[in-house]
């Protein structure tokens, strides 16, 4: 009914078109920082489509039959371009592609049973060149251009943790981890006199420190404290940003110094703000506060492994219930500062594929429906819509089997993806539980007056009647957004917001939605969530009004660069470094909800390794760092950096930590010993130095 009214008005006055949700600024392909309205499709480039056989490898690198999945199989950027052009993604509603790391990889074939190759893209040798088996820079440009012309963003995988497999003693193993700068050798793993790499052996994954400063498997592990390497990785990502990419998936973030990554993100946002999300793997049932902290403080989002593992347990393995699913939703809502910026999924190239050969396809369909309507940015692993199967790596990375647009899974994505564009409740809404038992989860997403109600019955045998269901949708009758694809029916909402009794049949999913024709001032998204003073930040939402109002960072007003009803661009005000809550105040003085914990940086970031020697501690005590910068807690011991590390780069009673601090500042600092309750300060005057104007450095002192 609302639609008819709008359609009528639109026909009457062309200006009313701007009120149509599909035309909102937050849905534009030009919005590189906000993916709230997008659905991502993850492609293992080599496994998708071979669009150009002339670039295929030969010999032991290649298996044209794609039977040995450790070999290259011919897929390339031209293949993706072909599928963009034939409408496979657009028709499905996909608005972002995540592709394999595009950079040049090693050409060696490993001496293992399968004769493994770098088809996956994670064995870089030159981050400033393309993988020729995927295409040339001209092909990459063409990919970006074609994608953008279809309203589709391109996210690249990027692995700044390492180059390739290497051995400390055997220079002939693979390519000796060699790193090149547009063809010029930077360093090899052996005889690495400049220490571009770590040489601490492989990690046993026992601690975060161990995982950062030792090798991940046998991969030549970068030393991000090396000045040349730091500059190299900063330049390399800028090269790809300049190529027009719209997002970055950062590999193995748990295995790199947290603050070097913050510094790197700062350099990225200063160059071109694009949505960036890291891979911090969590196994089934694992909850790691360090993972939440990274998502909240590094400047980038994360792949939401808690979401993925729980969805698999509930819909696939059936070892957990819908109540457990809701508990995950409720807990992550507070654990992550911006839960809507985390990237949700149900499987990927490092997990068994969700669909199992003998399983009921409805399990996958329900999990997809959940991911597409839940909070977070959904990423669909290629071939899920074709019910591809495969246990473990590399069987979970098989060649794309078919491009059938009539499968139920394809139709499901096609029905739900566009709703993320038109109803902002999916992009920005809260989640409320409306009805719950072991098998049934009814949840409601709401943003302002916009509402999406979802009901899922995972039982394959039992139906449930839903009595006493309430919603925030206005009175009326609502048809299933999926048009009955998963057996959903219409619902009727009464004036008191009660939903007339319905029966959820076994395996049913119903989705109902209300898109509000007008909105009060509601702030949905701020991106990036960390930026320097003066830098541009984009605010998306609804109801900002046609006339310029104000944007407040705490009590400070930001300079408005542009103001539209659903999008505002501002410059970060010249405030002190620190965390600020952001609010939009419209021209009639109505204030929006507050968007909390935006981090203002007062200068470009540099990384400093702070080292303290002779700091012996009592049982239960650790050493922390505190100082006169926001990054060092502003002398507040409750905000001190640490506990510091004391195992790999330096050993107890020495302690160290790599910290992102503002460039060119007079820094004063001290170390403290704390058992969590009692704090012991160093004696004497503060340590001091001036931070470098760029790059990385190290300072060492003895406990005083």
- The residues of the shown chain that bind ligand NOJ, judged by CB under 6 A, are 120, 122, 159, 251-252, 279, 349-350, 635, 670, 681, 686
Whose structure tokens read 């190290």?
698
Q: Output the six-digit token pair for 547.
A: 């006339």
- Measured CA distances, 52 to 141, 143, 349, 558 (Å): 15, 13, 24, 50
Asked if 139 is part of the footprint of Ca ion (rule: CB under 5 A), the reply reads no
The residue among 168 and 251 lying less far from ligand NOJ, judged by its C-beta, is: 251
55 binding partner (options ligand NOJ, Ca ion, none; Cβ < 5 to 8 Å by kind): Ca ion
136 binding partner (options ligand NOJ, Ca ion, none; Cβ < 5 to 8 Å by kind): none
Q: CA-CA distance, 512 to 453, in Å (whole number)? A: 5
Q: CA-CA distance, 307 to 98, in Å (whole number)? A: 19
| Contact flags string 454-493 toward Ca ion, x per CB under 5 A | ----------------------------------------
DSSP secondary structure string, 426-442?
A: HHH-EEEEEEE-SSEEE
670 binding partner (options ligand NOJ, Ca ion, none; Cβ < 5 to 8 Å by kind): ligand NOJ
Helix (H) or strand (E) holding 33: none
Smallest gap, in angstroms, from Cβ of residue 216 to ligand NOJ?
6
Closest CA to 88 of 406, 338, 328: 406
56 binding partner (options Ca ion, ligand NOJ, none; Cβ < 5 to 8 Å by kind): Ca ion
Smallest gap, in angstroms, from Cβ of residue 133 to ligand NOJ?
17
The residue among 342 and 450 lying less far from ligand NOJ, judged by its C-beta, is: 342
Helix (H) or strand (E) holding 163: strand 162-165
252 binding partner (options ligand NOJ, Ca ion, none; Cβ < 5 to 8 Å by kind): ligand NOJ
The residue among 95 and 163 lying less far from ligand NOJ, judged by its C-beta, is: 163
Smallest gap, in angstroms, from Cβ of residue 686 to ligand NOJ?
5
76 binding partner (options ligand NOJ, Ca ion, none; Cβ < 5 to 8 Å by kind): Ca ion
Catalytic member of 279, 439, 540, 565: 279
The residue among 55 and 446 lying less far from Ca ion, judged by its C-beta, is: 55
Helices (H) then strands (E): counts for the chain: 13, 38
Distance of CA 399 to the CA centre of its chain: 25
Q: Output the six-digit token pair for 252.
A: 């193995």
Smallest gap, in angstroms, from Cβ of residue 76 to Ca ion?
4
The residue among 93 and 165 lying less far from ligand NOJ, judged by its C-beta, is: 165
Establish whether 508 is a catalytic residue: no
**Tally of CB atoms within 10 A around 650:** 17
Asked if 31 is part of the footprint of Ca ion (rule: CB under 5 A), the reply reads no
Alpha-carbon dihedral of residues 514, 518, 522, 523, nearest 10 degrees? 90
What are the backbone dihedrals phi and psi of residue 408, each rounded to the nearest 5 degrees, phi first? Answer: -60, -40
Residue nearest to ligand NOJ (CB): 122
According to CB under 5 A, which one of 24, 76, 246, 630 is a site residue for Ca ion? 76
Half-sphere exposure of 551 (CA within 13 A, CB side): 30
Asked if 102 is part of the footprint of Ca ion (rule: CB under 5 A), the reply reads no
Alpha-carbon dihedral of residues 373, 379, 386, 321, nearest 10 degrees? -50
- Maximum alpha-carbon separation in the chain: 79
Residue nearest to Ca ion (CB): 76
Smallest gap, in angstroms, from Cβ of residue 254 to ligand NOJ?
10
Q: Output the six-digit token pair for 19.
A: 């009120």
The residue among 160 and 376 lying less far from ligand NOJ, judged by its C-beta, is: 160
Asked if 218 is part of the footprint of Ca ion (rule: CB under 5 A), the reply reads no
Establish whether 251 is a catalytic residue: yes
350 binding partner (options ligand NOJ, Ca ion, none; Cβ < 5 to 8 Å by kind): ligand NOJ
650 binding partner (options ligand NOJ, Ca ion, none; Cβ < 5 to 8 Å by kind): none
Helical segments of 286-407, H only: 289-297, 305-311, 322-335, 361-373
The residue among 489 and 668 lying less far from ligand NOJ, judged by its C-beta, is: 668
Smallest gap, in angstroms, from Cβ of residue 161 to ligand NOJ?
7
26 binding partner (options ligand NOJ, Ca ion, none; Cβ < 5 to 8 Å by kind): none
Smallest gap, in angstroms, from Cβ of residue 681 to ligand NOJ?
4
Q: CA-CA distance, 184 to 678, in Å (whole number)? A: 53
Smallest gap, in angstroms, from Cβ of residue 123 to ligand NOJ?
8
Cβ atoms of 322 and 316 closer than 8 Å = no
Cβ atoms of 589 and 556 closer than 8 Å = no
The residue among 50 and 602 lying less far from Ca ion, judged by its C-beta, is: 50
635 binding partner (options Ca ion, ligand NOJ, none; Cβ < 5 to 8 Å by kind): ligand NOJ
Q: CA-CA distance, 176 to 166, in Å (whole number)? A: 5
Smallest gap, in angstroms, from Cβ of residue 202 to ligand NOJ?
13
Catalytic member of 157, 192, 251, 449: 251
The residue among 50 and 508 lying less far from Ca ion, judged by its C-beta, is: 50
Residues 36-75 that bind Ca ion (CB under 5 A): 50, 52, 55-56, 74
**Tally of CB atoms within 10 A around 17:** 13
Alpha-carbon dihedral of residues 26, 32, 36, 40, nearest 10 degrees? 130
Q: What is the DSSP letter of 72?
A: B
Smallest gap, in angstroms, from Cβ of residue 73 to Ca ion?
9
The residue among 25 and 252 lying less far from ligand NOJ, judged by its C-beta, is: 252
Q: Which stretch binds Ca ion (CB under 5 A): 76-84, 239-247, 395-403, 684-692?
A: 76-84
Q: What is the DSSP letter of 132?
A: T
Q: Output the six-digit token pair for 683.
A: 């004696």
Q: Which residues have CB under 8 Å from 566's CB, separation 6+?
A: 24, 25, 26, 540, 541, 542, 544
Q: CA-CA distance, 59 to 277, in Å (whole number)? A: 36
Contact residues for Ca ion, defined by CB under 5 A: 50, 52, 55-56, 74, 76
Return the active site residues: 251, 279
């Amino acid at each position: 009914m609302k639609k008819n009214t709008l359609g009528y008005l639109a026909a009457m006055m062309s200006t009313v078109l701007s009120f149509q949700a599909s035309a909102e600024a937050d849905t534009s392909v030009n919005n590189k920082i906000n993916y709230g309205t997008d659905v991502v499709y993850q492609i293992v480039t080599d496994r998708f489509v071979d669009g150009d056989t002339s670039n295929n490898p030969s010999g032991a690198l290649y298996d044209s039959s794609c039977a040995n999945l450790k070999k290259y199989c011919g897929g390339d950027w031209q293949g993706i371009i072909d599928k963009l052009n034939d409408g496979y993604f657009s028709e499905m509603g996909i608005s972002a592609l995540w592709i394999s790391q595009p950079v040049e990889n090693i050409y060696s074939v490993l001496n293992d049973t399968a004769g493994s190759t770098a088809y996956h893209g994670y064995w870089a040798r030159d981050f400033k060149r393309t993988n020729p088996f995927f295409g040339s820079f001209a092909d990459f440009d063409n990919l970006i251009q074609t994608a953008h012309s279809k309203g589709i963003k391109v996210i690249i995988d990027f692995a700044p943790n390492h180059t390739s497999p290497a051995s400390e003693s055997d220079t002939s193993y693979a390519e000796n981890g060699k790193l090149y700068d547009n063809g010029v050798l930077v360093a090899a793993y052996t005889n690495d006199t400049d220490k571009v790499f770590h040489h601490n052996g492989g990690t046993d994954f026992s601690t975060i420190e161990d995982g950062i400063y030792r090798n991940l498997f046998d991969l030549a592990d970068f030393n991000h404290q090396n000045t040349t390497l730091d500059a190299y990785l900063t330049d390399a990502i800028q090269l790809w940003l300049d190529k027009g990419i719209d997002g970055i998936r950062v590999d193995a973030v748990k295995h790199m110094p947290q603050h070097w990554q913050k510094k790197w993100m700062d350099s990225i946002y200063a160059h071109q703000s694009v949505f960036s999300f890291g891979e911090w793997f969590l196994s089934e049932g694992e909850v790691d506060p360090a993972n939440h902290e990274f998502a909240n403080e590094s400047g980038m989002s994360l792949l939401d492994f808690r979401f993925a593992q729980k969805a698999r347990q509930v819909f696939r393995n059936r070892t957990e219930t819908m109540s457990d699913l809701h508990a995950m939703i409720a807990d992550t809502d507070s654990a992550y500062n911006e839960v809507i910026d985390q990237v949700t999924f149900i499987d990927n190239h490092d997990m068994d594929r969700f669909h199992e050969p003998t399983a009921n396809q409805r399990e996958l369909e329900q999990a997809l429906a959940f991911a597409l309507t839940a909070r977070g940015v959904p990423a669909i692993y290629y071939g899920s819509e074709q019910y591809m199967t495969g246990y473990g790596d590399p069987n979970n990375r098989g060649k794309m089997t078919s491009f059938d647009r009539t499968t139920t899974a394809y139709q499901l994505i096609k029905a739900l993806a566009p709703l993320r564009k038109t109803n902002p409740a999916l992009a920005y809404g809260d989640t409320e539980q409306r009805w719950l038992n072991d098998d049934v989860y009814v949840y409601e997403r709401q943003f302002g007056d916009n509402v999406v109600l979802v009901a899922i019955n995972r039982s394959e045998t039992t139906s449930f009647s839903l009595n006493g269901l309430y919603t925030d949708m206005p009175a009326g009758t609502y048809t299933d957004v999926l048009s009955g694809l998963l057996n959903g029916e219409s619902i009727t909402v009464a004036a008191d917001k009660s939903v007339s009794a319905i029966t959820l049949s076994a395996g049913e999913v119903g989705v109902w939605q209300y898109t509000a024709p007008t909105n009060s001032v509601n702030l949905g998204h701020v991106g990036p969530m960390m930026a320097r003073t003066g830098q541009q930040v984009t605010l998306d939402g609804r109801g900002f009004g046609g006339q310029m109002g104000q944007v407040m960072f705490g009590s400070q007003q930001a300079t408005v660069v542009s103001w539209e009803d659903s999008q505002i661009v501002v410059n970060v005000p010249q405030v002190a470094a620190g965390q600020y809550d952001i609010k939009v105040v419209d021209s009639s003085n109505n204030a929006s909800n507050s968007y909390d914990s935006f981090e203002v940086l007062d200068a470009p970031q540099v990384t400093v390794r702070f080292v303290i020697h002779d700091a012996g501690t009592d049982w239960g005590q650790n050493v922390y760092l505190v100082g006169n910068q926001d990054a060092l807690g502003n002398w507040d011991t409750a905000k001190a950096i640490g506990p510091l590390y004391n195992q790999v780069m330096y050993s107890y009673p020495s302690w160290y930590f790599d910290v992102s601090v503002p460039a060119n500042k007079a820094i004063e600092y001290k170390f403290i010993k704390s058992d969590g309750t009692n704090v012991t300060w160093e004696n004497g005057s503060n340590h001091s130095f001036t931070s470098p104007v760029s790059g990385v450095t190290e300072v060492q002192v003895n406990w005083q």
